[in-house]
Structure 1
């Protein structure tokens, strides 16, 4: 199990470097609190990598990746519109919405990361590792590697947010979501058509 854990941690950490999920983590870090982004990423990663390990361990690669990527692309376009709309609250509304805001942030980050990771190279790498190595070590290691790589991206996002205006951050984040959404939709078409 320790070999599976170590191998999966390193492999997924390296595979995640420069991936769209890291850019997504950076984007969310400019919009939400770092702990909300990290918790959302962790929940999504635990779930997606559990699915990946189950696929690799039991039934192989059976997800219709083209359709999953198409749905994820449409969702990302929705995130772009939501980001452009913004979440403006005055001081009286901040207290009433703080609980709802935390839940909404966690839900947005978790759903976006789950959609981004379904059919992604890190998911496929985890499926592959699970076909040859201990499932528990692979699951825990791949989760740790992914969360560690995305934690680096959160730090980068926080540094960017300090240097840019909120308007630039909002338009930049919306643009990234739109680009990722369009890219996912276009890349899914050959496999569903």
Structure 2
């Protein structure tokens, strides 16, 4: 692995882990996994995050071809510094369980609008039947598609997506993709296997402070580095 790939991989992995733990999509995966088969939830959420990571890296890779390398470098620097300040502000001012309560309320409202607990029980029964079906057929499971869509649109426009675009514009895109996918896999698996208990045992404020500090470090490093 070349130095540029390793550097992009390391930055992307650290950024993804610290950005996604305690994120809304993290809580969504945890709550969905408590209500539906974990395998389907993990497949849907992780599939959405992988697609989002690759798309973001492609946009970041293409940006220097549309805008001068100098400008993309400066924009990336400002993005990192801005996201760092944003993350620190959120960590210092927002409530610890605000995101979790908000996601739970949204999913509960969605559940009620779709017919309540009776329909959920019927759906769970259908999922047990689908487990006997061929693997390809399970990709069309409503649970998997729901997990995919909630995660994909929840990440769209999020600071972690924009940060991935900026990182791919300034670092090796392959390293950014590999680091991002590994980070997403670790966070999503943790969320599905025990995200709610994990979130309650880890201070969201500390994670936010660490993530914000990391963004600022990346911003300072980007500012001090020379444009190739």
* TM-score, normalized by the shorter chain, greater than 0.5: yes
Structure 2 CA distance for partners of 1:144 and 1:84, relative to 1, 3 Å? farther
Residues 46, 188 of structure 2: 8 Å contact kept: no
CA RMSD of aligned residues (A): 3.3
What TM-score does the superposition give when structure 1 sets the normalisation length? 0.64
**Which residues of structure 1 form unaligned runs of 5+?**
62-75, 161-193
Tell me how far 1:18 sits from its aligned partner: 1.1
Structure 2 residue runs without a partner (length 5+): 65-71, 73-105, 199-228
Once the two structures are superposed, residues 80-106 of structure 1 have per-residue CA deviations (whole angstroms, 9 ceiling, x without a partner) of 433736323399866655547772111
Q: Tell me the alpha carbon deviations over residues 49-100 of structure 1, each in whole angstroms, 9 at most, x when there is no partner.
A: 1111111111389xxxxxxxxxxxxxx6784433736323399866655547
Q: Which residue of 1 aligns with 2:32?
A: 28
Give the equivalent residue in structure 2 for 1:105: 143
Give yes or no for contact 1:30–1:157 (8 Å, CA) kept in 2. Answer: no
Contact 1:4–1:141 (Cα < 8 Å) also in 2: yes
Partners of 2:147 and 2:123 in 1: CA distance: 23
Q: Distance in 2 between matches of 1:44 and 1:17?
A: 16
Q: 1:4 is matched with which residue: 8, 20, 27?
A: 8
Q: How many corresponding residue pairs?
A: 147
> In the alignment, is residue 132 of structure 1 matched against residue 170 of structure 2?
yes
**1:24–1:83: structure 2 CA closer, same or farther, 3 Å change rule?**
farther
Under a length normalisation based on structure 2, what TM-score does the superposition of the two structures give?
A: 0.55
The 2-side partners of 1:150 and 1:92 are apart by 25
For residue 89 of structure 1, the aligned residue among 111, 122, 125 is: 122
- SS of 1:18's equivalent? coil
1:15 equivalent in alignment to 2:19: yes
* Distance of aligned partners of 1:94 and 1:20 in 2 relative to their CA distance in 1, 3 Å threshold: closer
Cα contact 2:60–2:166 (8 A) shared by 1: yes
Q: Contact between 2:36 and 2:124, CA under 8 Å: does it hold in 1?
A: no
Residues 83 and 38 from structure 1, CA distance in 2 versus in 1: closer, same or farther, beyond 3 angstroms? Answer: farther
SS of 1:87's partner is helix
Q: Computing the radius of gyration over CA atoms, which structure comes out larger, 1 or 2? A: 2
State the partner residue of 2:49: 45
8 Å Cα contact 2:26-2:195 kept in structure 1? no
Q: Which moved more, 1:141-150 or 1:52-61?
A: 52-61
Using the TM superposition, give the Cα deviation of residue 146 of structure 1 relative to its aligned residue in structure 2, in angstroms: 1.8
Distance (Å, rounded) in 1 between the aligned partners of 2:123 and 2:58: 46
